[in-house]
Each structure stands twice: as structure tokens, then as C-alpha cells.
Amino acid sequence: MSKTPALKSPVAVLKGVGPWIAKRLQKIGIEQIGDLLYLFPIRYEDRTEIKPLGELSPGQKVLVEGEVQLTEVVFRRRRTLLSRLADGTGSVTLRFFHFNKAQQEQLVRGACLRCFGDVRVGPTGLEMVHPEYKLISDGSDPPQNFLTPIYPTTEGIHQQRLRQLTDQALDIMKTTFPDDCLEGHLPEDWPTLVDSLRFLHRPPRDSVLEELFLGVHPCQRRVAFEELIAQRLARVQSRLNRVKENAFSLEDKSKFIAKLRAKLPYKLTDAQELAISEILADVAKEIPMHRLLQGDVGSGKTIVAVMAVLAAASSGCQSGFMAPTELLTEQHFNNLKRWLEPLGIEVVALTGSIIGAERLKILARIAEGHAHVVVGTHALFQQAVEFKNLALMIVDEQHRFGVGQRLELKRKGKKGILAPHQLIMTATPIPRTLAMTLYADLECTVIDELPPGRQPVNTVVMPESRRLNLVKRIREHCTTGEQVYWVCPLIEESEIINSQAAVKLFQNLKKALPELKIELIHGRMKFNEKEKIMRQFRDGVLNLLVATTVIEVGVDVPNATLMVIENSERMGLSQLHQLRGRVGRGSSSSNCVLLFKSPISELAKERLGVMRKTSNGFIVAQKDLELRGAGDMFGTQQSGLIQLKVADLIRDADLLPRVIEISEILMRDYPKNADQLIKRWNKHTSEYAYV
């Protein structure tokens, strides 16, 4: 008799895993059977109840059963297989555009089918296009009693196969258990690891659906907790590894900093001064700095970073200054040139649109070490960009950059021997417990004050029904020459639907305001097209810009003094705050109008009230955590650096203090468990980045 497989056995021993599937599984980090248990569903579908055909309505996703009445192939615009299904209460048409002979023969009159799919209105009544279906013997086969898991799609492996594989893994888990690395550290009344895993893969139909969909079922919380601990452990480990690396020691020997300071038209704030001294102390060490500089929009992070660049130049080393878009690159390049060239420091820009001989010339300046500062977009990461002695990398608005790119950066350090210091700047306020978990590998500096004299953005909350008044107000506003952003945020998961909403709004506004110059940018437009329009807006050619939330982070258009945000009740407060930061950058006062669709809940009202009352990003972020609600859907997005599988930073924020406490204990007393958790949770990461 062959030995029964264990969770540690290779997946190849499972039924249905040939070399081809094994290879694909390996690609997403699944080698042992137990790894399958940590491939979590991204959502669930309810296929536990068979819906009578007479009760269907369009837009539903349902499980139905019936007998085939008639199947025929019709030729209209394209060859189509139509099959009529009835169950005594009503009927529905199944429509297939792609089908084969075998399928056609299966769907004979009298065959019993169970189908799952979307119901829509067709030319002859309700229909389902390409439903999932299977033949059943006589309708007595009971539907499954658990919700159907949908796994992250993996190239070449279908949902059905993934279910089959996880079925087998769950079966093995009846006799052998995965190690519970948190044993003894969780409250008594929490579910066990085995029960939790089982639940996540096959939630029973009687489970509290609402809890499940919100992700707050105790089993989900148990697993989310483990994930957060694993993430924190991984960050701490990477920090421990980093301090073993070597870096240039940078000091401002030429007194560049004092020279620039003397020329600035303003006095640095205390918070800026403090940040500068922390950063300079860091880069003076021979250990690579890895620091996060947080500061609200407009708090003056750029000049702080420039001081570190001066220390590098003063030590004869190069710096990179990375921005997420060409437009921002241009903005930084102009500022840096203005500040640094008088000191004899050469600044060059490198973006995707600088090509040909010009590019080669710049690359040579960089490779030979003449260019001290290179400002650029992702283009800085390209293989062709070789630095002579890169010692410092500034990354502006970190959430646009991936982990792989940061690794590449390390490689670009001095021949791979000396790692560059890194300063990562962000305007996204990150509450402390969160920073201690997900940014445990970074030191944090916070600029917690704005330069004096800034006028807070006056924020009003307005029901959509007053749109006509608003349009009138915009017309008046634009006659003064000031500009307007009208933002159509991401309220659907799909950028397609979202862009459509923006297009419609754009057309309506053009009709309502024919005398204004209006343009539109959204996420599905080509990069160059977006940049062109942003540039026109910056240069004052446009009065009004309609945009989805692709609207550029960090772009300075001081003349834009009014922002309208659609569907604000459905957005996270921190995100609203980010958007609002696009106005209020000049000397005249600015306004922000938060439109909402009535009726809204008390909670939503309170949340929008926060926006009206405060302009402090940290208070906004804190309130966002406290007053959960619509903001939840942006939780994972805001975390930026790390893609979480089960946990959600906003929803599970209350777990964080305990996560910190227990991970400390594990590191100190149970290093083996800590190791195992890190490995277990960092296998499938890349897959989730795309779902």
C-alpha cells in the first residue's frame, strides 16, 4: 500500500497534478501540499441554492437547474448555440458563442443541467451567456453545502482544478495538521488554525454571510492576525539584514547646506529642521539609511530631501531622485537645477521620453560621475543606467514603486558592494501602529507642521441635487482666471466602468459650460496623452480638468483653487484628503466641494463632517481608522508597499497592537516559529499583486 501523502509531500503526488501543472504551481510558490492551504480565495460565490427559473431577474448571478427543451445552432451575425432550459416554473435560454460538437450533443432534449452564471435580458427573454454547467443525472444531486471559493487566477490553472486540489489538501488536513506557529499566544476562544483554514477554503452555507463578505468572521480574523504577524516579522528581518550591509558615509564637507539655506526665500519650519538633522545623522553612518519621510501635502518634503542630496554631492557621490511621473520629474528637475547649479552641482533628468543621442549623452554623464544628481522616473531603473558612485536614492511618493524595483536599486549601488541610502517620501499619513507593522523595516520621520501662512482649504459637503448651482458657481469661478479640478473617483472596482463615468461627466460639463476649456484624463488613456493634458492644465490653457483618481500626485498647480469630488461618501477619508491637497497651493484661498448621493447614512455624514472640520492629514487618517465604513475598500490600496491576502489594514487595525506584541515574543523566544511564519506567508505574494 502506498504511503498516504502528508502536507509536506510535493504537490505532484496529488491527483490531477502532472509536470505541467506542477510547474505552474511552483511558479506561484506552491511546492508542498500544505502550501495550497495558504492559497486563499479572493472571494466567494453562493451556489448553495437552486433558484426557480420563474423567479429570475436580470443582473442576478444564480444557480439554476432544468431540463433541456430544445437546442439549436443559429446563424445570425455569428454562429451561436442556443439551448432552452425549463423547470416547470419558467425557462431561460443558454447562449454559447464558442462551443464544440460534443457540447452540442450533450445538450439534447431531456438532459438535466445545473448552471451557474449571470442572468441578462436577451432577444427572446431572459438568458445566460456561457454559464458554467454540468449534466446531472435526474436532479436529485443536492447542491454543495458550502460557498464556492474563487481563487486568484493562475495562468493555465482553472478554478475547478484549484478547487479539486484544495479539496485534496483539506482532506489530508483531516489527519495531519499544519504547524500552529501561534499556539499558546492567542485568546482561548479563537478558532484553531485548522478550523480557520477549512473555513476560508469552504465556508459552510449557514455561516454568517455578512461577516464573511466583510472579512470579519473569527476564522478570517485568526488568519489575518497570522498574516500581519508574518508581515511584521519579515520587515524586521529585512531590517536586521540591512544593518549588516555597508554604505558610503556622507558628510557635508563643502558646507553646501549652509549656502543653500542662506538663499532660500523662506525659513525652514522646526519640523523640517528636525527631519534634516535626523536624515543627515543617518547618511553619515556606514549603514544604509532606509527612512520614510512622511509629511502632509505641501509640508515641504522636497527641500528636506535636497539637503541629503547636498551631503552626498559634498562627499563626491551621486544621488538619484525618483518621481512617479514625467511631469513631477520635470517639476523636481527645475527646482533642483535652480537650487544646486549655483553650487556647482550638475543635475540631469532622465525620463522615458528623452531618447537617442540626447539620452546617450546623459547616460555617459551619469556613468562617468559628472552628473551628481539624476532626476527621473522609472527610467532610472533600466539596466542601461549605470552610476559611477550612487550613494543616495530619494523616492518621491513611494506607493507607486514596487519591491522588485527597490532591489534593482540596491544593485545599482557602488558595484553592488556599497548599498545606497534610501529616503522614501510620502504624503500618505500612516498611523503609528500601522507603521510599526508594515514599515518595521523603515525608520520614520514625520513633518507634522505646514509652513506658516498656508490657507486651509475651505471644504463644503453638498448633495448632488445641487449640481446646477454648482455649475453656475464654476462658471463664475473661472471668469476670475482660476482653475478647477472635477474628480470622479474610483467607486467601481473596474477602471473601465470608472472611466466611462468620467467620460459621461466630461460630456455633460462641456454641454453645460460651452464657454470653458475643459479636458478629461482617466486611467485608460495613454501615458503621453495624460501628460499632455496635465501639462496644459498646469500651464493654464484649461479652465477645468475632469479626472479619475489617476490625477497626478504631488503636482503643483497653484492656480487651481477649486476642487469638486463626486461620490465623496463612498471614499476613504485619507484619499479624500490626498485629493484635496491638490488645491490650496497658492496664495489665494481655495475650496473643495464634496458631492454626495442622497440618502447617506449617519456614519457617512460624520465621516464627511471630519473632512469639513479638519485639514490635518494625521487627524484625518486617525478618524479614517476609527470611523470605518466606505473607506474600507481603499484599505489595501493605501498600504501601497505590501499586498495583503487576508488581512486588511483598516478593517483589522484593532489587531495591530497585539500583532506587535506577539511578534516580539516570537522573535525573542520562538525564532523557529517566526522563521516558519515568514516563509509560509511570503510564497505566493506576487500572484496577489495582480488580482
How far is C-alpha 458 from the chain's CA centre? 29
CB of 553 to ligand ADP, least distance (A): 9
Asked whether position 299 contacts ligand ADP by CB under 6 A, the answer is: yes
Measured CA to CA, the distance from residue 294 to residue 292 in angstroms comes to 6
- Count of residues that bind ligand ADP according to CB under 6 A: 15
Asked whether position 218 contacts ligand ADP by CB under 6 A, the answer is: no
Q: Which of 20, 97, 213, 266 binds ligand ADP (CB under 6 A)?
A: 266
Give residue 581's identity as a one-letter amino acid code.
G
Residue 203 contact partner, candidates Mg ion, ligand ADP, none, CB within 5 to 8 A by sort of partner: none
Asked whether position 324 contacts Mg ion by CB under 5 A, the answer is: no
Asked whether position 295 contacts ligand ADP by CB under 6 A, the answer is: yes
Q: Which of 148, 166, 196, 302 binds ligand ADP (CB under 6 A)?
A: 302
Residue 46 or 330: the one with the smaller Cβ distance to Mg ion is 330
CB of 305 to Mg ion, least distance (A): 9
Measured CA to CA, the distance from residue 644 to residue 218 in angstroms comes to 18
CB of 39 to ligand ADP, least distance (A): 40
Single out the segment in contact with Mg ion by CB under 5 A; choices: 248-256, 287-295, 493-501, 552-560: 552-560
Residue 5 contact partner, candidates ligand ADP, Mg ion, none, CB within 5 to 8 A by sort of partner: none
CB of 343 to Mg ion, least distance (A): 22
Residue 115 or 260: the one with the smaller Cβ distance to ligand ADP is 260
Q: Give the bridge partners for 146, in sequence order.
A: 204
Residue 200 or 304: the one with the smaller Cβ distance to Mg ion is 304
Q: Does residue 88 come out as left (phi exceeding 0), alpha (psi in the -120 to 50 range) or beta?
A: left
Burial category of 51 from C-beta neighbours within 10 Å (exposed 0-12, middle 13-18, buried 19 and up): middle
Neighbours of 181 (CB within 10 A): 21
CB of 306 to ligand ADP, least distance (A): 9
Measured CA to CA, the distance from residue 300 to residue 445 in angstroms comes to 13
- Residue 566 cell numbers, joined: 463626486
Residue 559 or 685: the one with the smaller Cβ distance to Mg ion is 559
Q: Is 161 helix (H, G, I), strand (E, B) or coil?
A: helix
Residue 262 or 357: the one with the smaller Cβ distance to ligand ADP is 262
Residue 52 or 451: the one with the smaller Cβ distance to ligand ADP is 451
Asked whether position 300 contacts Mg ion by CB under 5 A, the answer is: no
Residue 269 or 377: the one with the smaller Cβ distance to ligand ADP is 269
Asked whether position 314 contacts ligand ADP by CB under 6 A, the answer is: no
CB of 260 to ligand ADP, least distance (A): 12
Q: Do residues 538 and 479 touch, judged by C-beta distance below 8 A? A: no
Give which of 576, 557, 596, 370 is closest to 470, Cα–Cα: 596
Measured CA to CA, the distance from residue 226 to residue 231 in angstroms comes to 9
CA dihedral 230, 231, 236, 237 (to 10 degrees): 70
Asked whether position 298 contacts ligand ADP by CB under 6 A, the answer is: yes
Single out the segment in contact with Mg ion by CB under 5 A; choices: 305-313, 491-499, 548-556, 592-600: 548-556
Which one-letter DSSP state was computed for residue 540? Answer: T
Phi, psi of 547 (to 5 degrees): -145, 150
Helix 270-283 with 301-314: angle, nearest 10 deg? 30
Single out the segment in contact with ligand ADP by CB under 6 A; choices: 109-117, 268-276, 403-411, 662-670: 268-276
Residue 71 contact partner, candidates ligand ADP, Mg ion, none, CB within 5 to 8 A by sort of partner: none
Residue 96 or 485: the one with the smaller Cβ distance to Mg ion is 485
Residue 52 or 586: the one with the smaller Cβ distance to ligand ADP is 586
Measured CA to CA, the distance from residue 54 to residue 47 in angstroms comes to 18
Q: Which of 34, 203, 324, 554 binds Mg ion (CB under 5 A)?
A: 554
Q: Do residues 80 and 113 touch, judged by C-beta distance below 8 A? A: no
Give which of 83, 85, 106 is closest to 96, Cα–Cα: 83
Give which of 440, 433, 435, 381 is closest to 412, Cα–Cα: 381
Residues in the chain: 691
CB of 264 to ligand ADP, least distance (A): 8
Residue 74 or 264: the one with the smaller Cβ distance to ligand ADP is 264
Single out the segment in contact with ligand ADP by CB under 6 A; choices: 53-61, 245-253, 261-269, 497-505: 261-269
Q: Which of 220, 269, 428, 459 binds ligand ADP (CB under 6 A)?
A: 269
Residue 194 or 274: the one with the smaller Cβ distance to ligand ADP is 274
Is the bond into 58 cis (omega within 30 degrees of 0)?
A: no
Please, what is the Cα angle at 261 between 255 and 266, to 5 degrees? 180
Single out the segment in contact with Mg ion by CB under 5 A; choices: 227-235, 332-340, 378-386, 549-557: 549-557
Single out the segment in contact with ligand ADP by CB under 6 A; choices: 26-34, 267-275, 370-378, 493-501: 267-275
Measured CA to CA, the distance from residue 427 to residue 447 in angstroms comes to 10
Burial category of 243 from C-beta neighbours within 10 Å (exposed 0-12, middle 13-18, buried 19 and up): exposed
Q: Is 149 helix (H, G, I), strand (E, B) or coil?
A: strand
Q: Give the bridge partners for 462, in sequence order.
A: 595
Site residues, ligand ADP (CB under 6 A): 266, 268-269, 272, 295, 297-303, 427, 451, 554
